[in-house]
Structure 1
Amino acid sequence: MDILKQLCGSLKPLHEAAMEQAAQRISQLTKPPGSLGKLEETAVRMAGITGSLNPDLNKKAVVVMAGDHGVCEEGVSAFPQEVTTQMVQNMLSDGAAVNVFARQAGADVFCVDVGMREELADPRLIARNVRRGTDNIAKGPAMTRREAACAIWTGVETVRELAEKGYRLFATGEMGIGNTTPSSAVLSALTGIPVEANVGRGTGIDDFTLRRKRDVVMEALRVNQPDMTDALGVLSKVGGLEIAGLAGVVLGCAYLRLPVVIDGFISTVAALCATRIAPMSRDFLFASHRSQEKGHAAALESMELTPMLELGMRLGEGTGAVLAFTLLEASIRMMNEMATFESAGISKA
């Protein structure tokens, strides 16, 4: 835990000089001021993150953290728990939606077992299992505080290892049947948002199961009494191993000054945890899309993040984050490849 505190204490703010230079460059491009909207804001912040107006984003990584949840025994998901392992195998075989979108974006998908219940012997899987799934949060804490910290550190180390291989743009993804339930509990615990306004249908559950899911989240909060000022404690009491792992991915990117695009509800709750642990990490985040999952908009608003896309998606896996890669790259190309009024010989008003 001490090393995690050291990492968070060593985060540095955005490069103000690079941001000013980017803003000045954009103001000279052949277009009305502000006419490219959020692409302009994105380009300026990318300069602040990387310290460069033209960062190398050729190597892109989607980090999919996988974990299982003891709360599934409460019947909160439309799918059985073994689907976690089956879907991870599908990703490793390049058959999932995130693989399809990643191929289009020129990105590589890395699956990390941070908390799967079943051991999966596959050399393509990054095996970093902290424990074989969480305990049932409706009956007690999901894991120990130390296990939550270890899962966070797994995310940090994954980013470090991939950065050493040249990856410079990251996306967060997850796989874990039942994980919208702990995500809802974490969101309510950290923000005070009522459970009724937070819990959604996840994998597409019916009305009866939705009511059951809400009751389970309320029971988890009652039993565990998480402290909203202690994000690590919230994760250990009502969170999940893959949620903690993704929080670590965000912290690792912030430490190494690398942009990270967050995906849907679970990834956004993980990012919220990261920003509560180290507030400065928020500057390194880009929100990809607003999903249909009920609590996602509230999670984004709690960090004052505006998503780039709204496509009615609720799959997870990192699918929305990968789609947003193109927009980040477009913002950089816009800043560097558009003509200026002077170079094009166009009169500026």
Structure 2
Amino acid sequence: MKKLQETIKSITPLSKNHMDLAKERLDLLIKPLDSLGKLETIAIQLSGIYENNYYDTSNKLILGFGADHGVYEENVSPCKQVVTQQQFANFVGGGNGVSTLCNFTNSHVWAIDVGINCDEEITGVFNEKIRKSTDNMRIGPAMAYDEAIKSLEIGIKYATLAKEKGYKVIGIGEMGICNTTPSTAIMSVFFDLLPENITGMGCGLDNEGILRKMNVIKDSIKINKPDKNDPIDILAKVGGFEIGAMAGAILGAASLRMPVVLDGFISYAAFIIAYGLNNLCKDYAIPSHMSAEPASKLVLDKLSLSPLLNLDMKLGEGSGAALAFNIIEAANFTYKNMLTFDESNMENTHP
């Protein structure tokens, strides 16, 4: 708990001075004011994060966390649970969505097992297993309060290690069959949303399956009574180990003044936990894309987060975050290399 408390307390606001200077430079570039839209927003945000008007974003990493869920017993996913273990091996073995996109964007991925339901270690994967799967949240809490704290501190640990290894930008990703169920429960509790209005198909449920999943979420909230004012209690009662670890990575990145790129639906749930613990972490977050899950726009609007992309993606893994790395690089490159009016001998017609 000490590490978590220290991390939460160490998060500070962005540097307004450096953001103002970045805005001044952007306004001198040979373009109409604000015409590069979110590319300018990113450049300004990065200046505030790094406390520098010129920065390096070339070394990028996805932190992927894997875990299973006891609520799988409630038939809330059409996929077999063993897929978590099988697919997680591909995070480091290559060939799945996130590893392929990391290869494309010249970035890296670390895979961290925080609770996959298997006894054997997975080759190339960091073993931080809290235990094999959470408990069934329809029967009782998904995990103990201390386990929730442990999952958060694992995320902080790997954000810190990424910083020590020289990474400048981190993204978060996950693997965990049926983890849209706890994610939806977290959103329902935190924002007082009715499960019937936000429950989606996950990785392919039919209408009957969506109804069953919605009832499981309703029952889980009713039985566990998570405290909406205590993000750790929410995580413990209706969350997941990988969700907690992603939330910890968000907090860790913010405390280390590193930008953290959110992925899709599961990462929104993780962000809610981190935001509830210290809302300053929002200043360090870059949402990559709008998930196709039905709750996505509603939740992101409530958090005032505007994703860079809307490609109807719902894969997870960190795939959207990896894809957004190129946009961040484009923002930085444009900010550094585009000519100013003085450099181009053009007349500045800005008001």
| Root-mean-square deviation (Å) | 0.9
Note if contact 2:90-2:99 (Cα within 8 Å) is conserved in structure 1.
Answer: no
Q: Percent identity?
A: 37
SS at match of 2:65: strand
- Letter aligned with residue 126 of structure 1: F
C-alpha distance in 2 between matches for 1:187 and 1:209: 20
Matched, 1:35 2:3: no
Q: How does 1:4-43 map to 2 (within 5 A)?
A: 4-43=4-43
Note if contact 2:64-2:112 (Cα within 8 Å) is conserved in structure 1.
Answer: yes
Displacement of 1:166 in angstroms is 0.5
1:171 aligned residue: 171
Structure 1 segments (4+ residues) deviating >3 Å: none
1:222 aligned residue: 222
1:127 aligned residue: 127
The C-alpha deviation readout for 1:43-80, integer Å capped at 9, x for no partner, is 10110011122211221100111000000000000101
C-alpha distance in 2 between matches for 1:299 and 1:163: 29
1:241 aligned residue: 241
Q: For structure 2, which runs of at least 5 residues remain unmatched after alignment?
A: none
Note if contact 2:183-2:269 (Cα within 8 Å) is conserved in structure 1.
Answer: yes
Q: How does 1:143-162 map to 2 (within 5 A)?
A: 143-162=143-162
2:48 aligned residue: 48
Structure 1 residues 81 and 160: CA distance shift in structure 2, 3 A: same
Note if contact 2:188-2:194 (Cα within 8 Å) is conserved in structure 1.
Answer: yes
SS at match of 1:72: helix
SS at match of 1:301: helix
- Letter aligned with residue 155 of structure 2: G
The C-alpha deviation readout for 1:142-194, integer Å capped at 9, x for no partner, is 00110000000000000111211101101111000010000000110111111
Displacement of 1:209 in angstroms is 0.8
C-alpha distance in 2 between matches for 1:120 and 1:251: 30
- Letter aligned with residue 271 of structure 1: F
The C-alpha deviation readout for 1:229-266, integer Å capped at 9, x for no partner, is 10000000000000000000100100100001100000
Note if contact 2:263-2:288 (Cα within 8 Å) is conserved in structure 1.
Answer: yes
Displacement of 1:123 in angstroms is 4.2
Q: How does 1:248-263 map to 2 (within 5 A)?
A: 248-263=248-263
Note if contact 2:89-2:123 (Cα within 8 Å) is conserved in structure 1.
Answer: no
Note if contact 1:53-1:332 (Cα within 8 Å) is conserved in structure 2.
Answer: no
1:205 aligned residue: 205
Q: How does 1:87-102 map to 2 (within 5 A)?
A: 87-102=87-102
The TM-score, its normalising length taken from structure 1, stands at 0.98
The TM-score, its normalising length taken from structure 2, stands at 0.98
The C-alpha deviation readout for 1:73-99, integer Å capped at 9, x for no partner, is 000001011110000112221010111
1:264 aligned residue: 264
Note if contact 1:53-1:335 (Cα within 8 Å) is conserved in structure 2.
Answer: no
> Which stretch shifts more, 329-338 or 240-249?
329-338
C-alpha distance in 2 between matches for 1:158 and 1:268: 19
Displacement of 1:337 in angstroms is 0.3
C-alpha distance in 2 between matches for 1:263 and 1:163: 19
Q: Report how many residues are paired.
A: 349
C-alpha distance in 1 between matches for 2:119 and 2:200: 30
Q: For structure 1, which runs of at least 5 residues remain unmatched after alignment?
A: none
- Letter aligned with residue 133 of structure 2: G
Note if contact 1:269-1:299 (Cα within 8 Å) is conserved in structure 2.
Answer: no
SS at match of 2:111: strand
